[in-house]
Amino acid sequence: MTNKYDQSLSKIMVADASESLEHIRDLRDQEGLSDQQLLEQRLLSFRLAIKNGRGNELDPEDLVFTSINDSFILGEAHFVRGVVYAHSHSYGKAALEMSQAALFYDKAKASEKFCLSLFNEFIFKSNDNQINGNELLSQLALIISKSEALAAYKVIGLCLRQRSYIFQSTERFQAALDEIQKAMNFIEAHCPSSDYHLALIHAADCALDLKNPEQAQSFLGYLPPELDSRVAFPLAYIKSRLNNDLLVEAQFADISEHWKSRYAKYVSEKLIPAVSDLPTWSWNLATHALVDQKKRIIGKVKFKSLEGQLLQTLILKSASKELLCEILWPEYAENHILDDRFFRLKARITQKLGEIIHFDGSNYSLSCKIEFSRK
């Protein structure tokens, strides 16, 4: 590993890409790069792409080099490969890469990287359902113990945050809030700013679980105006909870499993139709089928499609055409284009599901209640 690589990586992690971009360009301009220099350039380029929400567009095979003996750089290659696999939801492969990264980092005596690889291996195995619920806290405790012995304070903070997630998932909301507040002491001091911002958002989420929106807003008040791409969806989710609103998931490129599951829980539990005497339909998020009150399959709509996004919005509340267009197509500015798109979208839904969308002269609403299922 070169000092220049280490400095460039540090700049990327604190969202200051200028120096790392200069180093990458210098490497690209050189002729006859060694395999190690080429790998360093690709690792930095991959890190920048991941930082900017493009992790699922990368090919981990581009980081395979067989002629390199530097343990730290090999650890870096396995680590970044693991992150790329995780972005494509290949969590089993991601966990294996993190296990290999830990071996090389341990050999290179890179203590914090070693502990971080163990933590990521734990996360990816958990996402891949390789660890059952009873083992989660005990395995986290082992990683915390190793991290304390090696003074890997960053990893201690991440483990405490993960333990808070577990407490929250089992509805121990006060314990979850207490744990994330402990974690923030480590995360603010030793982690990239985006991890601290995610911790603040999680603390706000816990406060909302405890029916304390004022405390939630106080946590959000510490967030700066400009945020990392991986913070965008969690923050939008919290704001939707505060405003009793919905999101358009397709607008977000970087959504972790934790925040995806939190939003799905919010959608399934919190969106209660205002009218109680309407017929109740079921929307299966696995098969995309909508089933009416007589158990007949009426049609199929994908949850993340434009049709699905319009239905999600109307499940929450009635809305004007103008508001619906702003939610669905924020990138378009011309009204006649928006109107045309809206009416064509409504026509597609009518063709699939019948006259499910009602217009009262000013607002659109659904002529039935829709509940979500995953079976």
Write the pLDDT tens digit of every residue in 218-231. Answer: 999 999 988 888 89
Q: Which residues pair with 284 in a beta bridge?
A: 373
Say what the pLDDT of residue 257 is.
84
Would you state the pLDDT for residue 272? 46
- Fold for the domain defined by 274-373: Arc Repressor Mutant, subunit A (1.10.10)
Residues 6+ apart with CB under 8 A from 286: 374, 375
Positions of the chain with pLDDT under 70: 1-32, 52, 250, 270-277, 331-335, 375
* pLDDT at residue 331, rounded to an integer: 67
Cα dist from 246 to 73, 189, 237, 320, 324, whole Å: 43, 34, 8, 15, 11
Q: Per 3-state DSSP, what percentage of the chain is helix, strand, and coil (rounded to 5)?
A: 65, 5, 30
Instruction: Look at residue 273 in the predicted model and tell me its pLDDT.
Output: 46
Segments of the chain assigned E as strands: 280-284, 289-291, 297-300, 357-359, 364-366, 369-373
Q: Which residue has the tokens 């299922």?
A: 373
Provide the pLDDT for residue 85: 94
Please state which of the four CATH numbers 3.30.1490, 1.25.40, 3.40.50, 3.90.920 is assigned to the domain occupying 1-131.
1.25.40
Q: Where in the chain is the domain with CATH 1.25.40?
A: 1-131
Provide CATH 1.10.10 ranges for the chain: 274-373
pLDDT at 236: 93
